[in-house]
Structure 1
Amino acid sequence: MNRCLKSARTLFFIAACACLVPAGMLFSSETLAQNQTQRGRVFPQKTQRGTMQFLALQEVSLDGATEPLTPGARVHNELNMLVLTSSLIGQTYTVNYLRDPMGVIREVWLLTPFETTLQPDGSLAPATGPTEKLYGG
């Protein structure tokens, strides 16, 4: 025997929750992550672009010049997951990087082929060549 009466508001709340749970599955984190990788990641404003070869744990060759990494340098792979620099030794990537106030590299993003066509800040790269060829004018 049920001793307490359920109000109409309570029944409406239960029914609304039952409808919203399946709707939440449409926006799963996997779908959102996939859409973000198709659009490209958002990088900080002062990000720079270069070709980086990992030489040692805290040492890289950036556009031909040997430079150190900060002791707590963070390297993000193409899926935006953190990777250890020891697993990248000997490999070369096109990267976006950020320097600390002392001028040492503190954060690195390994770029996807799509992201290399964008500017370091994430905007579209300007068209190369004369505009007459692009627009037929």
Structure 2
Amino acid sequence: MASCAFLAPAAALFPLQAQAQRLFPQKVERGSITFTGTHDVVLNDKRERLAPGAIVRTERNTIALTGSLRGKTFTANYLRDPAHLVREVWLLTPAEAERPLRPRLGVTATPDTPADPLIYRN
């Protein structure tokens, strides 16, 4: 119990975004998404369809029901399935939206400059 009392103030010193950074697959795309129906979205000004079983993660990385997002627009990272339907969506925080989608071209990881830890290969 004493250790919990010691660690609680330390956790409060760091903002929530700094405590947990999300990892995105290397093949994600970024765009503006508006939820128009349970399975329908407008992605980068083009009507699209969500794949059956599509997963939408909120800024806090919780799963959102698409019906609760109807009429709302977000900046998001997304992945498509082989049928070109949107299968995964990550709604971005303002800090994540400012971050470049991919590392700069021509920059490779060396022992002195490790690869970007916020991107994993899929």
For the criterion TM > 0.5, the same-fold answer is yes
1:92 to partner: Cα distance: 0.5
Structure 1 alignment gaps of length 5 or more: 1-20, 125-137
Within-5 A mapping of 1:28-43: 31=11, 37-38=17-18, 40-43=21-24
**RMSD between aligned alpha carbons?**
2.8
Considering fraction of residues, name the structure with more strand: 2
Distance 1:107 1:71 in 2: 11
Considering fraction of residues, name the structure with more helix: 1
Residue equivalent to 2:101: 120
Question: How does the TM-score come out when normalised to structure 2?
Answer: 0.70
Residues 96-137 of structure 1: CA distance to partner in whole angstroms, max 9, x if unpaired? 00111221100001100000111235x59xxxxxxxxxxxxx
**Given the alignment, which residue of 96, 99, 103 partners 2:80?**
99
Question: How does the TM-score come out when normalised to structure 1?
Answer: 0.63
Residue equivalent to 2:118: none
Moved over 6 A (4+): none
- Bigger radius of gyration: 1
Structure 2 alignment gaps of length 5 or more: 105-122
Within-5 A mapping of 1:1-137: 22=3, 26=7, 31=11, 37-38=17-18, 40-121=21-102
| Percent identity of equivalent pairs | 42
